[in-house]
Amino acid sequence: MKQSITLDYTLPEGCLQPHFEALRRGEALASKCGACGHVAFPARVLCADCGSDALGWVTLPGTARVSCRTGGAEKGVALVRFDGADAMSTVALKNPEIAGETGKLSVPENSEAGLWLLLDTVTAKGDGNV
Amino acid sequence: MLNDVKIAGGAMTPFNRRKDGSSFRDWSRTAVSGALKDASLEPRDIDMLVVASESDFFTLQLNPAALLADECGLFGVAAQRAEGGGASGHVAFHAGVAALAGGMAKRVLVLGVEPSASHLKGADVGALYALSFDAWTDGMTGVDATSLYALSAQMFMQRTGAKHADFAQIAVRNRQNAGLNPYAHLPLDVSIDDVVSSTLVAAPYHRLDCSPLSDGAAALILARAKDLPQNGQTRASVKGLGNSTDRVRLGERSDPGYFAGKREASRRAFSMAGVEVTDIGLAEVYDSYSGAQLQALEALGLVEDVVAAERSGMFAADGAMPVNLSGGLLGQGAPVGATGVAQVIAAALQLEGRYWGLRPAKAARFALVDTHGGIATLNTVSILEAP
């Protein structure tokens, strides 16, 4: 038998709504622990380090350095460390054809969830980004 | 300490991509009837059913435990469904043992089933599997399982010096191990060159480094010895169980290449079993990807230097610690809910000396079974003892 279901979800983002709203503006809003100072990006509802729920918000510059990456020219995924964050993040690469080691948070297309990174284009000297 | 919980019998269907028109309900009946026959029991002897199925999206059947109790002739039993991503089958096994140990049942049937291959297109299954991680930060971005495993493997390689050739050797060996397993999905005779030249999916992983999507079912029966024919004298015992989670987000782990949750699950299982690592004579390990087998063996604490051990042949059938003689997920296949149940069956039958596939060169007294969901996010370890 054949069966097809189209499911159209609405997912409330709860306590993390400010984080996801910022992502949709291309801004890196991280959570910062009021107890130990740990900065989490993506944001968390509990501190990843000490478990405290005394969290506030801090805006990061959105720049990141790639630790490792995989995928091909059409699709890329990377582990990166955002400047100001205390742990790494998994990002989808917006321009995986670029071999850059740094990038900046990018606005997701079509209001998709998650983190998207636009890799910097390395100049001929290899010491600058455009 | 667990006392006297026996694996009374077990059976499985072939793991493959079904093209014969049979359904997951048919496979379930086949596995259940086989397990009952193997245990010399009747349906009326069973008073509890635990069903493992990862997702209703595969079966398109909510409340599967009640349905399958009905379809398998287990009328009126207590029934529940257990789920833990890729570890669902093993989680169900733990739930069954817990029910016995807690006095909630006398004979528990654990049934794992999943139509992972034939019900949906591969891309749709991949999209569902991606939700096994933090769906809001990973799965919905299109970050898929293979990519996350690949990133973790890269970090493991950086730290340990493992090469893709080490991974490819596992992809080859597990497929060869599956050659004697009549239920295996991919009993292939492939070479390292075949693995390396297969399509690159996400570096370092090529297509042959990845376990397949499979259909199938597996069932086993748990009971105390006094509640079994001949007191279950010829059946393996459950000695230790351990379960532990790790951070769901790969980037939040202190070392994304190390399966820390698995290490803790292993420690708990060994602690409950009261045995040492050196007592383990064989293992069935969760090899969703070739490199993940090495990462698992490292975290389970079975060896000091896992890369050196791999290169020494330690994990081959004639090695000191045979691993995945069933073929593992890479060779035997991976119908998710059934995977962990089949792993336990393989280990138990090896200990009982009646396994249908490749046997170790030296009989083992203790075996370890390892399964996980996510990327070693929910880890489940069991230690079994020979009769």
- What's the pLDDT tens digit per position in B279-294? 999 999 999 999 999 9
Interchain pair B256, A78: CB under 8 A: no
Sign of CA dihedral B114, B264, B320, B311: positive
> Among residues 85-114 of chain A, which lie with CB inside 8 Å of chain B?
87-92, 108, 112-114
d(Cα B258, Cα B261) in Å, to the nearest integer? 9
Specify the pLDDT at position B262: 98
Domain edges within chain A: 14-119
- The model's confidence at residue A74, banded by pLDDT at 50, 70 and 90, is confident
Whether pLDDT at A39 is above 60: yes
- The model's confidence at residue B200, banded by pLDDT at 50, 70 and 90, is very high
- The model's confidence at residue B126, banded by pLDDT at 50, 70 and 90, is confident
Specify the pLDDT at position B1: 61
d(Cα B117, Cα B107) in Å, to the nearest integer? 31
| DSSP-based three-state secondary structure for B32 | helix
Q: Which residue has the tokens 């376990």?
A: B211
Whether pLDDT at A125 is above 80: no
Question: Average pLDDT of A49-63?
Answer: 97
A64, β-bridge pairs: A82, A103
Specify the pLDDT at position B23: 97
Specify the pLDDT at position A121: 87
Question: Average pLDDT of A44-69?
Answer: 97
ipTM over 0.90: yes
Whether pLDDT at B229 is above 70: yes
Whether pLDDT at B90 is above 90: yes
Q: Which residue has the tokens 């295996």?
A: B184
Specify the pLDDT at position A110: 74
Residue of B nearest to A117 (CA): B141
Q: Within an 8 Å CB–CB cutoff, is residue A1 touching chain B?
A: no
Whether pLDDT at A120 is above 50: yes
Q: Within an 8 Å CB–CB cutoff, is residue B308 touching chain A?
A: no
Is residue B122 within 8 Å of residue B115, measured between CB atoms?
Answer: no
- The model's confidence at residue B236, banded by pLDDT at 50, 70 and 90, is very high
Q: Within an 8 Å CB–CB cutoff, is residue A56 touching chain B?
A: no
Q: Within an 8 Å CB–CB cutoff, is residue A82 touching chain B?
A: no
Residue of A nearest to B203 (CA): A70
Nearest to A90 among B155, B158, B249 (CB): B249
- Comparing A5-14, B20-29, B110-119, B133-142, the range with the smallest average pLDDT is B133-142
Q: Within an 8 Å CB–CB cutoff, is residue A16 touching chain B?
A: yes
Report the greatest alpha carbon distance in chain A. 61
Specify the pLDDT at position A129: 43
Question: Which residue in B240, B230, B218 sits closest to B5, CA to CA?
Answer: B240
Interchain pair A77, B151: CB under 8 A: yes
**Structural domains in chain B, sorted by start:** 5-120+213-232 (3.40.47.10)
User: What single letter denotes the amino acid at residue B324?
Assistant: N
Q: Which residue has the tokens 């069932």?
A: B219
Q: Which helix (H) or strand (E) holds B282?
A: strand B280-284
pLDDT in tens, B250-277: 999 999 999 999 999 999 999 999 999 9
Question: Which residue in B49, B24, B54 sits closest to B119, CA to CA?
Answer: B24
Whether pLDDT at A126 is above 70: no
Q: Within an 8 Å CB–CB cutoff, is residue B247 touching chain A?
A: yes
d(Cα B22, Cα B183) in Å, to the nearest integer? 16
Interchain pair B151, A68: CB under 8 A: yes
- The model's confidence at residue B3, banded by pLDDT at 50, 70 and 90, is confident
Is residue B365 within 8 Å of residue B386, measured between CB atoms?
Answer: yes
Q: How far is C-alpha B327 from the chain's CA centre?
A: 11
Judged on CB neighbours under 10 Å (0-12, 13-18, 19+), B136 is middle
d(Cα B362, Cα B384) in Å, to the nearest integer? 16
Phi, psi dihedral angles at B115 (to 5 degrees): -95, 75
Pairing between β-strand B280-284 and β-strand B366-373 as defined by DSSP bridges: parallel
Task: Give yes or no for a cis peptide into B335 (omega within 30° of 0).
Answer: no
| DSSP-based three-state secondary structure for B245 | strand
d(Cα B8, Cα B30) in Å, to the nearest integer? 17
Judged on CB neighbours under 10 Å (0-12, 13-18, 19+), B234 is middle
d(Cα B204, Cα B164) in Å, to the nearest integer? 6
Question: Average pLDDT of B14-43?
Answer: 97
Interchain pair B249, A92: CB under 8 A: no
Specify the pLDDT at position A128: 43
pLDDT in tens, B147-180: 999 999 999 999 999 999 999 999 999 999 999 9
Mean per-residue pLDDT over chain B, rounded: 96
Judged on CB neighbours under 10 Å (0-12, 13-18, 19+), B19 is exposed
| DSSP-based three-state secondary structure for B368 | strand
Q: Within an 8 Å CB–CB cutoff, is residue A52 touching chain B?
A: no
B283, β-bridge pairs: B323, B368
- Comparing A53-62, A65-74, A83-92, B265-274, the range with the smallest average pLDDT is A65-74
Q: Which residue has the tokens 């990456």?
A: A69
